[in-house]
Amino acid sequence: MAKQALILYYSQFDTTAKLASQIHRLTGADILRIKVAAGTFPDDMTATDKIYKQQRASGQLPALTTKLPKLDYYDTILVGGPVWDGQIASPIMQLLKQLQGYAGVVAPFSTGWSATGNYQQDFRAHAGKLHVVDGYHVLTHAAPRFAVPTLATWLRKL
């Protein structure tokens, strides 16, 4: 991946953060953690799920408190997030809205517990006209698990 790349990621419990750091180490890409206001999501999966379902139903997405850098400097943006209900998390929905108009490649990556579900399809469905490529999706308690060779193979294709 001999390009100018930016890693943007959201992570509630730091699993996606670890994957984002690995990608950063392997690529040297710039990296930025996307945050929402403190208290938006409780430190509990079931309670977070309830809020997430409401957000998806109402379309009221959480505002991002992270200011994005100038994106036209980058050829590729790698967008990482956790799998929520087999879909993208609401901060990633919000991020994809803010990325509209970006002309480079958008490459999703995700971490889930045991089932990636429709993550890639949902990502594309919320990406508008962004140029989305096939992502790197791994699980912590089922296959496919994270492995440096599979990550490196994916990164080489970008």
Ligand X SMILES: Cc1cc2nc3c(=O)[nH]c(=O)nc-3n(C[C@H](O)[C@H](O)[C@H](O)COP(=O)(O)O)c2cc1C
Q: How far is the CB of 155 from ligand X (least distance, A)?
A: 19
DSSP-based helix, strand, coil % in the chain, nearest 5: 35, 25, 40
Sign of CA dihedral 44, 151, 91, 125: negative
Report whether 82 contacts 12 (CB < 8 A). yes
Q: Which is nearer to ligand X, 13 or 73 (CB)?
A: 13
Report whether 117 contacts 135 (CB < 8 A). no
Q: Which is nearer to ligand X, 101 or 144 (CB)?
A: 144
Radius of gyration of the chain (CA): 15
d(CA 51, CA 1): 37
Q: How far is the CB of 56 from ligand X (least distance, A)?
A: 11
Sign of CA dihedral 40, 90, 60, 101: positive
Q: Which is nearer to ligand X, 112 or 135 (CB)?
A: 112
Residues in the site for ligand X, rule: CB under 6 A? 11-17, 45, 48-49, 52, 82-86, 111-115, 117, 139-140
Q: How far is the CB of 2 from ligand X (least distance, A)?
A: 28
Q: Which is nearer to ligand X, 104 or 112 (CB)?
A: 112
Q: How far is the CB of 71 from ligand X (least distance, A)?
A: 22
